[in-house]
Amino acid sequence: MRITACYILIAAALLNACASAPPLDIKNVNTAITPSEAVAKLDNMRGRRVLWGGVIISSRNLEKGTLLEMLAYPLNDRQRPRLDREPLGRFIIEHSGYLETVDYAPGRELCLTGTVSGTKEVKIDDTVYIYPAIASEQLHLWPKGNDGEPQFHFGVGVMFHN
């Protein structure tokens, strides 16, 4: 009986570790601010802490830091971008250190905490867009592949593969 209870506790701990949110400090974070609202109300939003996430569109290392252009998505309860929802707009992450652009490549998902620092103009084709700029505090790059949810497969049978 004790051995079974021990196995159940170990399994529960492993599942919890796999399904837990990234270790971001989200104290004093305003989760209601969207990228479009940050641009529209910049004077009121500057300096506010946000928790945003999305998909990397581009990454570029500069002399003093890295810029990531992001397509924002709503976050799930684990702070992972919900790619099955409508995007919330674009934003720029200003990271003060070096980030390896092979790891922080287009298509990768991440979430972050940071403060609204201003805006950046980004030219796409012939049009200039204004995006909110976020001074990053903490970044979490999500693993490639599945959405991070635990996956269970049960079955009995035979499978042939060519």
pLDDT, tens digit (0-9, with 9 covering 90-100), for 54-99 = 999 999 999 999 999 999 999 999 999 999 999 999 999 999 999 9
Per DSSP bridges, beta strands 89-95 and 49-62 are unpaired
Query: Is the pTM value of this prediction over 0.95?
Result: no
Residues 132-161 pLDDT 10s: 999 999 999 999 876 555 544 455 555 555
What pLDDT does 159 receive?
A: 55
Full set of structural domains in the chain with CATH: 21-141 (2.40.50.140)
Amino acid at the residue 22: P
Give residue-wise pLDDT tens across range 1-32. 566 544 444 444 444 445 566 778 888 899 88
**Count of C-beta atoms within a 10 Å radius of residue 76:** 17
